[in-house]
Amino acid sequence: MAYWLFKSEVSTWSWDQQVAKGDAGEEWDGVRNYQARNHMRAMKCGDLGFFYHSQKEKEIVGIVEVIAESHPDSTTDDARWDCVDIKAVRALKNPVSLAMCKDDVRLADMVLVNNTRLSVQPVSEDEWQIILQLSEDV
């Protein structure tokens, strides 16, 4: 299993909206960055990801699961862009802010800390566990 982080502006797609989709989940569409698209192409069903509210909140709020592997993005006719489908698994016990991540030396190499603009990014197993610890979710 691999771990990921999905970033969304609350005003565009929020954790509450993701949760409301239930087990049917939702396409993670609209990504127009090659690196982020390539990360989605590497995802497998069952992979887990953090759901991150970008912009004002800047915090990890929940855990999602990949339920459909890479397929054409339904929001464009441009064949270059793919997406995956994800469903909400559960909210984190306590949100983990970007500031908390930046303050934790164990996360110094985390993509979120070093490339805050990338909308879909990998998370190492160690980083995953540290975030769960910071959330008091273990």
Strands 3-9 and 48-54: parallel
Contact between residue 30 and residue 73 where contact means Cβ atoms under 8 Å apart: yes
- All residue ranges of the chain with pLDDT < 50 are none
Cβ-count burial 15-26 (b if 16+ within 10 Å, e if not): beebbeeeeebb
pTM score: 0.96
Contact between residue 67 and residue 25 where contact means Cβ atoms under 8 Å apart: yes
pLDDT for the residue numbered 117? 87
Within 10 Å of residue 121's Cβ, how many Cβ atoms? 22
Burial of 115 (0-12, 13-18, 19+ CB in 10 A): exposed
Report residue 17 as tokens.
Answer: 């909206």
Nearest to 51 by CA among 9, 103, 80, 82: 9
pLDDT for the residue numbered 67? 98
* Max CA separation in the chain (angstroms): 43
